[in-house]
Chain A
Amino acid sequence: EIVLTQSPGTLSLSPGERATLSCRASQSLSSSYLAWYQQKPGQAPRLLIYGASSRATGIPDRFSGSGSGTDFTLTITRLKPEDFAVYYCQQYGSSPPGYTFGQGTKLEIK
């Protein structure tokens, strides 16, 4: 089973700044199978990025994803107040088929 480790656990930034969130996999995985989600309190997660770098429908272009192999990054430029939330990375594995999530990064207002 591939384990995803996210860092940092908490990131404190101000609106207008740039956020860089990391997701490291315990073994190499296909970029096609790496996604990112945003979750706000009391809400279901929302898909941001799939295939490591493709934005989901309706996601603003200040959100971008990159990476390959074992190291993946979610970057949020020009932070807005509504961007402060918890972010999760997720991978799909085919053998056996299934999904795992990272433990999450909390992005908080400084």
Chain B
Amino acid sequence: QVQLQQWGAGLLKPSGTLSLTCAVYGGSFTGYYWSWIRQPPGKGLEWIGEINHSGTTNYNPSLKSRVTLSVDTSKNQFSLKLRSVTAADTAVYYCVREDCSAGTCSHFDSWGQGTLVTVSS
């Protein structure tokens, strides 16, 4: 049973850089895409981007200019950096595994515990 454990700073000042890391335990790291999803307090879910073990990435166009995803296959970890944050970036951030068993990755079957990131001066 795969487990995703995430960590990172929970309080940032405006214009700073959000940085989160997610470690994958108990399952294969290759053969999947790994995503970040966020959820502002009391609101819905927003996909941020995805990366695979080779470092191939896709980003949400609305965030693409500020986001960088990276991967460390030696540690089965992947990371999120979001630059120039504002209060609008305050949200719970989740790391997630995409299910690619049907040949195309199309949904999310395992989630991290979530990290609340607050942007405030």
Contact = CB atoms under 8 A, between A and B. Distances in A.
Question: Which applies to chain A's interface (DSSP): helix, strand, loop or mixed?
Answer: strand
Interface stretch (B18-26, B74-82, B109-117): B109-117
Given A44-B113, A99-B35, A50 B47 contact: no
Contacts, number: 62
Contacts of B58: 96-98
B54 interface: no
B45 A47 contact: no
Contact of A47 (B50, B60, B108): B108
A101 B44 contact: yes
B99 A50 contact: yes
B88 interface: no
Interface string B81-96: 0000000000000100
B104 interface: yes
B106 A44 contact: no
Given A44-B112, A102-B44, A92 B60 contact: no
B105 interface: yes
A10 interface: no
A88 B39 CA distance: 12
Size category, A interface: 20 to 34
B44 to A, nearest CB: 5
B53 to A, nearest CB: 16
Interface in B41-83: 44-47, 50, 58-61
Given A32-B102, A33-B106, A50-B107, A96 B44 contact: no
A104 B44 contact: yes
Contacts of A88: 44-45
20 contacts: A32-B104, A32-B106, A33-B104, A33-B107, A44-B94, A44-B112, A45-B45, A46-B111, A47-B99, A47-B109, A50-B107, A92-B104, A92-B106, A98-B47, A98-B60, A98-B61, A99-B35, A100-B47, A101-B45, A104-B44
